[in-house]
């Protein structure tokens, strides 16, 4: 059974997904470059411009394909267009674009009455000031169509608006082409814990997978420094959360695939931050598997091929991931992991930074400033957190030069 995959992503964050899918599917990769680390998992590949949907369709018409998927934010719309051209399962491209374009998300949710932050669009600083007067302080500025919290900043007072707007408006990410750059959303700041809700969708029906509790740092930026998934998290079956997530997907028209929805748990109830029309990043699916035994990549592949998902858990644990950052901007010499010193609950300790790599903390860098990640799984949250704390002593960054 052949599955088309549009882009493989980075090895540190996506190889485990590819490995899982390759165990049950023949994978043909469509990518902008020749495969490197991906090669052992592929039965074939085509190098081409993955924004050219017609070219992708032409390249694979000789294959007998059961489905197509991507876990790259910047290719979810193109992948949906490819699925429609090839007559394969998936949500409509228009629904995918409403997820990618945060302004379109806000408009769809507003029309449907789904709880969310108040949001105004600004293409200039005067417009941002006018929007801020409507939204009020504190507020959040975010680029219209980027991900990984790139360019997202909290602004507490009017005298910080100009600097925050320049940061959000100037933020860039490779491959973001569906929405013209420059527009910034000026949004109400939602107080309360932030969570992500991963779910499979089949013909309009939601199948909840797992909830991750976010850990953020580097205020006023929203850098995600870790996540925790508890198999017994009551939010996974909380009616208010389920209702908001379901209503949000109905509003944007998403029916088939996998989504990673971010919400804030405010005093007024859960409110939608954004809908990502792909598997969660930051190794969240990995800790979801460790906590519940749910293999997000494999389930997403089955849904992409038209099969109803099975998300029954086979374990009940708590799992977490924590990312390691330098103390200050620097150039990395190497990352040293003392494996024997890692506590037993640690599942993965992985060096991310390469020798000679620049590591810059927010706002000049974001996820690219991480030098290592550690995952752990245990019977309780306290045991999991303790293992992640102890593992920090076994992971060391050697600095070549401070910047």
Q: Residue ranges of the domains in the chain?
A: 2-88, 118-188, 194-304, 318-402
The closest alpha carbon to 91, from 72, 76, 103, belongs to: 76
Residue 25, token pair as written in the block:
């599917």
Average pLDDT, stretch 213-224? 94
From first CA to last CA, the distance across the chain in angstroms is 50
Give yes or no for residue 170 having a pLDDT over 90: no
Burial class (CB in 10 A: 0-12, 13-18, 19+), 118: middle
- The CATH number that domain 118-188 falls under is 3.30.1490.20
For domain 194-304, which CATH number applies: 3.30.450.20, 3.40.50.12280, 1.10.3720.10, 3.30.470.20?
Answer: 3.30.470.20
279-335 pLDDT tens trace: 999 999 999 999 999 999 999 999 999 999 999 999 999 999 999 999 999 999 999
Task: Find the largest Cα–Cα distance for the chain.
Answer: 59
Write out the CATH class of domain 318-402.
alpha beta
What are the backbone dihedrals phi and psi of residue 125, each rounded to the nearest 5 degrees, phi first?
-65, -45
Give yes or no for residue 378 having a pLDDT over 60: yes
For residue 166, give the DSSP letter: H
Coil/strand/helix, residue 106: helix
Asked if 381 and 389 touch (Cβ cutoff 8 Å), the reply is: no
Helices (H), 253-403: 284-292, 296-304, 381-391
236-279 pLDDT tens trace: 999 999 999 999 999 999 999 999 999 999 999 999 999 999 99
What are the backbone dihedrals phi and psi of residue 291, each rounded to the nearest 5 degrees, phi first?
-80, -40
Asked if 8 and 35 touch (Cβ cutoff 8 Å), the reply is: yes
pLDDT (0 to 100) of residue 320: 98
Same fold, 194-304 and 318-402: yes
- The CATH number that domain 2-88 falls under is 3.40.50.20
Helices (H), 87-200: 93-100, 102-112, 125-135, 161-170
Residue 179's pLDDT band, with cuts at 50, 70 and 90, is low
């Amino acid at each position: 059974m052949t599955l088309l995959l549009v882009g493989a992503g980075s090895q540190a964050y996506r190889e485990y997904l590819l490995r899982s899918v390759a165990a049950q599917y023949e994978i043909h990769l469509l990518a902008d470059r020749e495969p490197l680390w991906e090669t052992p998992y592929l039965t074939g590949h085509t190098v081409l411009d993955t924004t050219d949907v017609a070219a992708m369709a032409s390249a694979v018409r000789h294959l007998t394909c059961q489905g197509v998927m991507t876990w790259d934010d910047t290719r979810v719309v193109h992948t949906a267009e490819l699925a429609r051209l090839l007559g394969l399962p998936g949500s409509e491209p228009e629904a995918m674009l409403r997820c990618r374009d945060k302004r379109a998300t806000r408009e769809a949710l507003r029309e449907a009455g789904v709880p969310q932050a108040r949001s105004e669009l600004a293409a200039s600083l005067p417009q941002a000031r006018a929007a801020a007067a409507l939204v009020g302080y504190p507020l959040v500025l975010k680029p219209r169509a980027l991900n990984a919290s790139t360019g997202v900043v909290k602004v507490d007072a009017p005298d910080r608006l100009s600097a925050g707007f320049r940061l959000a408006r100037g933020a860039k990410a490779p491959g973001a082409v569906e929405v013209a750059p420059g527009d910034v959303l000026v949004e109400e700041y939602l107080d309360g814990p932030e969570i992500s809700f991963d779910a499979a969708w089949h013909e309009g029906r939601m199948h909840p997978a797992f909830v991750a509790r976010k850990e953020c740092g580097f205020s006023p930026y929203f850098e995600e420094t870790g996540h925790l998934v508890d198999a017994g998290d009551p939010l996974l079956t909380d009616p208010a959360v389920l209702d908001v997530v379901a209503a949000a997907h109905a509003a944007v028209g998403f029916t088939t695939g996998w989504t990673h929805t971010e919400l804030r748990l405010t005093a007024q109830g859960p409110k939608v931050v954004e809908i990502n029309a792909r598997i969660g990043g930051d190794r969240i699916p990995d800790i979801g598997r460790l906590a519940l035994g749910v293999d997000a990549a494999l389930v997403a592949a089955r849904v992409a091929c038209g099969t109803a998902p099975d998300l029954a858990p086979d374990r009940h644990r708590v799992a977490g991931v924590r990312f390691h950052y330098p103390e200050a901007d620097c150039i990395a010499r190497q990352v040293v992991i003392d494996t024997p010193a890692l506590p037993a609950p640690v599942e993965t300790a992985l060096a991310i930074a390469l020798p000679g790599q620049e590591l810059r903390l927010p706002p000049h860098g974001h996820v690219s400033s991480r030098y290592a990640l550690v995952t752990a799984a245990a019977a309780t949250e306290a045991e999991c957190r303790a293992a992640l704390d102890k593992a920090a002593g076994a992971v060391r960054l050697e600095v070549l030069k401070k910047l």
